[in-house]
């Protein structure tokens, strides 16, 4: 019973619905990943 209550409270979180901007942190990370790929390609082309 106590465990259920604790899990419910953990799921509920802080009650803000979502932390500012945390939802799209994954989008930022993917964006960075694509940018890093471009940098790598450009540097490789420069070497060639």
> Which positions touch other proteins (CB under 8 A)?
6, 9-16, 18-22, 25-29, 31-36, 38-39, 41-43, 45-46
Give 4 or 45: the residue with its C-beta nearer to other proteins: 45
The first and second tokens of residue 14, run together, are 């802080």
Q: How far is the CB of 19 from other proteins (least distance, A)?
A: 4
Q: How far is the CB of 4 from other proteins (least distance, A)?
A: 14
Using alpha carbons only, give the angle 45, 46, 48 rounded to the nearest 5 degrees. 65
How far does Cα 32 stand from its chain's mean position? 11
């Amino acid at each position: 019973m106590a465990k259920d209550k604790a899990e419910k409270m953990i799921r509920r979180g802080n009650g803000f619905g979502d932390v500012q901007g945390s939802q799209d942190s994954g989008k930022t990370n993917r964006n960075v990943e694509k940018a890093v790929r471009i940098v790598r390609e450009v540097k490789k082309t420069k070497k060639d």
